Chains A and B, each alone.
Chain A
Amino acid sequence: MCLGIPGQIVEITDADRLMAMAEVSGVRREVNVACIMDGPLESLIGAWALIHVGFAMSLIDEDEAAKTLEALRGLGEAQETLEAMAQGEAALEGSL
């Protein structure tokens, strides 16, 4: 829960709510980008960010993203985060 996970912003989904689609280890998840905004929202597309419980908290470069992901895999945290994302998805339907 305390460690972020790197993801790449691929699309702005809701400009009013500052929401964007991020790709995290092959999984798509909508995230809030308020904390990394710097200029027009569209300029975030393609950027890598450290994503923390659904909020992009810090822009990072691609190399840092790869290293961080590797470290998270080593700690078993990457898998845990992806599972939590799936749980969150299921919780919307009330099935978890």
Chain B
Amino acid sequence: MRYAEEFRDPKAARAHLDAIERLVDEIGATAEKPVHIMEICGGHTHAIFRYGLDRLTPPGIEFIHGPGCPVCVLPMSRIDECVEIAERPEVIFTTFGDAMRVPGSRKSLLQAKADGADIRMVYSPLDALEIARRNPDREVVFFGLGFETTTPSTALSIQQAAREGLENFTVFCNHITVPPPIKALLDDPHMVLDGFVGPGHVSMVIGIHPYDFIAEDYGKPIVVAGFEPLDLLQSVLMVLEQIRDGRAEVENQYSRVVPENGNPVSLAAIADVYEERPSFEWRGLGEIDASGLRIRDHYRDFDAEAKFGVGYGAGMRSVQEPEGCACGEVMTGRIKPFQCPQYGKGCTPEMPLGALMVSSEGACAAYFQYGAIEAAE
């Protein structure tokens, strides 16, 4: 219980851990034959490592780290396209800071900025809108990325820009959705997944029903969870209870924030502004059907892909991953981060080679930050 003192309520944590241990025994899971639980969200991956939950829980549980870190799954080609847009003299390129260090095949946005491109880190697409208002003679592009939690923010910003008739604001849309990659992973014959801890803040927007297929079509339990360590422990417990009882249901541990049917205003804005792309590329996972969003023709004036002629449909896109990088295998849980030949050598949080090392929500960065010592032992 090395980290026990860090729990807000150590007694409750202990009780949850004891209950988890009993259930793992009841199920008969062992280190050799563990139950595989995927936490989908990168925020959960971060919390699991930060609080050492992977070590506090019995060896009969193996956490598989899901694809839910938007920075980590961004294909290199998209970063290349960002750089291409950002290097135009008329452009002010705005982005969340998280994306700055993601390696592209030529350079990262950070390097492009050092080389003179006008790239600005913003907190919100609202900042980008304001920059566009203040710089009518420049083209302001916002790098829209993230899952359903962030998608409403760019949708509402585009609606606002349309209302104001702003002509110098576009979004380079890289929004992706959570359910399709989960389906792709469940269809992958190499993957062994016994249950899921579902993302809390994505579900706050989309509700819990988009996960029905996990229970109904694949017979796997999923519990939507908050990101406090106690939330996570309780959710793992709920997944194990379902496994023990032979149930497969969508349960909501985070109902204090996640409404069953999501947030109607956000969903309406997303539906108005975006439509599904036929497929979208995920770093390490490849093209996944209907997993990305594009801006509807109706809002074409605010689509950077249309304005600058880059992105899907414009030329050859596929870009080779760097030599020796095992991001794909880590992403699909085939190997642990420290088994990548580049881990801690050619690839560190300061000098990331792969995207999983960039964000604290990436499995490699989380391992490196909190688990490097144990991994090496």
A residues in contact (CB < 8 Å) with B: 1-4, 17, 29-32, 34-35, 37, 50, 52-55, 57-58, 60-61, 64, 67-68, 70-71, 74-77, 81, 83-85, 87-89, 91-92, 94, 96
Contact = CB atoms under 8 A, between A and B. Distances in A.
B364 to A, nearest CB: 17
B25 interface: no
Contacts of A2: 41-43, 68-70, 146-147, 149-150, 201, 361
A64 B257 contact: yes
Contact of A35 (B69, B92, B263): B263
7 contacts: A1-B96, A35-B156, A58-B204, A68-B228, A71-B47, A84-B121, A88-B122
Contacts of A61: 256
Interface size class of B (residues with CB under 8 A): 35 or more
Contact of A37 (B43, B146, B265): B265
B121 A91 contact: yes
Interface string B151-162: 011001000100
Contact of B127 (A37, A52, A91): A91
A54 B124 contact: yes
Nearest to B231: A71
B6 A74 contact: yes
Given A91-B122, A94-B118, 13 more contacts: A1-B71, A1-B359, A32-B153, A34-B156, A35-B265, A53-B153, A57-B263, A58-B204, A83-B97, A84-B97, A88-B122, A88-B127, A91-B121
B336 interface: no
Contacts of B51: 74
Given A71-B227, A84-B121, A96-B121, A57 B152 contact: yes
A21 B236 CA distance: 37
Nearest to A33: B265
B90 interface: no
Given A57-B205, A87-B97, A35 B152 contact: yes
B265 A64 contact: no
Contact of B121 (A3, A31, A88): A88
A87 B204 contact: no
B252 interface: no
B345 interface: no
The 5 closest A-B pairs by CB, nearest first: A54-B124, A88-B123, A91-B120, A88-B127, A84-B123
B295 interface: no
B332 interface: no
B156 A60 contact: no
B307 to A, nearest CB: 21
Contacts of A77: 43, 360
Contact of A53 (B46, B125, B265): B125
